[in-house]
């Protein structure tokens, strides 16, 4: 049980204004659980919210959907008090066609904790038990904080059907691009080529043993050279930036697959002649299914991706503005975490 009636939270108040305030500990609806947050990861969606660019977030929101923490009050079902959990933050309507056919992750009215409802940039968050997944006790919660973005990568690679021996191209070496590349390699890809404009991130990619596109070359150049002019079996767009859109088709082989993972903010120039002549499959992916989250937890639990090596930086919740700035800057840490526990924060 919480030892206080108020808690510290980061509240999005206006474009580029996030206030750290004392707010009431959330009411816990019947059957729900109360989770004490250990870490909450910051992603591009959170930056969009803070900048006032997210279409659904409302002022007064406590953002944060990449949550790992400890159950302090168990729900009517699910993990017991004391369990370390990661959150599958999706809220599906249960009534639309997608929901009725089991594809609740693409609910027509999909919402998320941390966007449409209070999230993890706080000491406590109330959640229904069905969104909680227990993290095995041996997993460092700091690595557990990567489960949510890792589930996105698992969903992308699984949907693409990456097979042993494949050549995989990834446009964008941010957290999602890096995780997608690592999951593709683990799925058996023979070569994973990643393009990324930031020199610091290119260094991270190289340290992970991935093939990095040099600054003066294109993803297409490197992939064609590697494949005798054929192209990649699968190309992932993990950038969501219009600049990479033309390369999605040029880097991909005849009868290959393009998977759009990154969220584009406006229509992007994709060459539909290539889609036609190469008979490409162009496939979108959105978040993840429950199976993908379970698989992501297995991957952090067995250590096979080496995620401990990813450069992360944990800021105290009181420094959330600095955390947001570090995430927006994108160098120095591949993933920025926020913790309400001063003992878990990195020294400045």
Residues in touch with Zn ion (CB under 5 A)? 43, 45, 92-93, 96, 99, 107
Residue 103 beta carbon to Zn ion: minimum distance, rounded to whole angstroms: 9
Torsion over CA: 250, 252, 258, 262 (sign): negative
Q: Work out the burial of residue 114: count CB atoms within 10 Å of its CB; fewer than 13 is exposed, 13-18 middle, 19 or more buried.
A: buried
Residue 42 beta carbon to Zn ion: minimum distance, rounded to whole angstroms: 8
What is d(CA 255, CA 321) in angstroms, rounded to the nearest whole number? 46
> By C-beta, is 45 or 159 nearer to Zn ion?
45
> By C-beta, is 99 or 126 nearer to Zn ion?
99
> By C-beta, is 96 or 344 nearer to Zn ion?
96
Return all residues near 171 (Cβ < 8 A) that are at least 6 apart.
177, 194, 195, 219, 235, 236, 237, 238, 239, 244, 247, 248, 251
> By C-beta, is 105 or 253 nearer to Zn ion?
105
What is d(CA 265, CA 262) in angstroms, rounded to the nearest whole number? 10
Residue 38 beta carbon to Zn ion: minimum distance, rounded to whole angstroms: 17
Residue 317 beta carbon to Zn ion: minimum distance, rounded to whole angstroms: 18
- The DSSP 8-state label assigned to residue 80 in this structure reads P
Residue 96 beta carbon to Zn ion: minimum distance, rounded to whole angstroms: 3
Return all residues near 269 (Cβ < 8 A) that are at least 6 apart.
242, 245, 246
> By C-beta, is 89 or 231 nearer to Zn ion?
89
> By C-beta, is 93 or 224 nearer to Zn ion?
93
* Residue 124 contacts residue 26 (beta carbons within 8 Å): yes
The backbone torsions φ and ψ at residue 160, rounded to the nearest 5 degrees and listed phi first, read -70, -25
The backbone torsions φ and ψ at residue 100, rounded to the nearest 5 degrees and listed phi first, read -65, -25
Residue found under tokens 């999909």: 110
Residue 226 beta carbon to Zn ion: minimum distance, rounded to whole angstroms: 31
> By C-beta, is 96 or 281 nearer to Zn ion?
96
> By C-beta, is 100 or 217 nearer to Zn ion?
100
What is d(CA 131, CA 30) in angstroms, rounded to the nearest whole number? 15
Residue 231 beta carbon to Zn ion: minimum distance, rounded to whole angstroms: 30
* Residue 275 contacts residue 134 (beta carbons within 8 Å): no
313 HSE (CA, 13 A, CB side):
18
Residue 278 beta carbon to Zn ion: minimum distance, rounded to whole angstroms: 32
> By C-beta, is 58 or 207 nearer to Zn ion?
58
What is d(CA 206, CA 195) in angstroms, rounded to the nearest whole number? 11
Residue 67 beta carbon to Zn ion: minimum distance, rounded to whole angstroms: 11
> What is the SS3 assignment for 42?
strand
Select from 13, 20, 12 the least CA-distant residue to 64. 12
């Amino acid at each position: 049980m919480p030892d206080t009636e108020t808690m510290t939270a980061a509240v999005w108040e206006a474009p580029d204004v996030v206030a750290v305030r004392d707010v009431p500990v959330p009411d816990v609806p019947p059957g729900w659980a109360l989770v004490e947050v250990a870490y909450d990861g910051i992603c591009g969606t959170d930056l969009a919210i803070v900048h006032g660019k997210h279409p659904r977030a409302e002022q007064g929101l406590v953002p944060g959907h990449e949550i790992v923490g400890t159950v302090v009050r168990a729900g009517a079902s699910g993990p017991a008090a004391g369990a370390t959990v990661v959150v599958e933050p999706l809220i599906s309507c249960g009534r639309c066609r997608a929901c009725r056919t089991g594809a609740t992750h693409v609910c027509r009215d999909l919402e998320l904790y941390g966007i449409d409802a209070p999230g993890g940039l706080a000491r406590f968050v109330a959640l229904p038990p069905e969104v909680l997944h227990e993290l095995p006790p041996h997993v460092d919660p700091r690595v557990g904080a990567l489960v949510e973005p890792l589930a996105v990568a698992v969903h992308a690679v699984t949907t693409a059907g990456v097979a042993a021996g494949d050549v995989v191209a990834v446009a964008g070496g941010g957290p999602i691009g890096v995780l997608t590349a690592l999951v593709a390699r683990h799925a058996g890809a023979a070569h994973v080529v990643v393009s990324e404009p930031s020199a610091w991130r290119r260094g991270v990619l190289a340290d992970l043993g991935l093939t990095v596109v040099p600054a003066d070359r294109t993803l297409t150049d490197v992939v064609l050279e590697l494949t005798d002019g054929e192209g990649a079996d699968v190309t992932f767009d993990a950038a969501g930036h219009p600049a990479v859109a033309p390369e999605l088709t040029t880097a991909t082989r005849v009868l290959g697959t393009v998977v759009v993972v990154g969220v584009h903010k406006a229509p992007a120039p994709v060459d539909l002649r290539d889609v036609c002549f190469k008979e490409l499959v162009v496939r979108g992916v959105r978040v993840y299914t429950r199976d993908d989250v379970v698989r992501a937890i297995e991957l952090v639990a067995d250590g096979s991706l080496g995620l401990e090596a990813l450069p992360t930086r944990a800021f105290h919740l009181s420094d959330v503005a600095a955390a947001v700035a570090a995430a927006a800057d994108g160098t120095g840490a591949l993933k920025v975490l926020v913790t309400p526990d001063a003992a878990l924060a990195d020294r400045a």
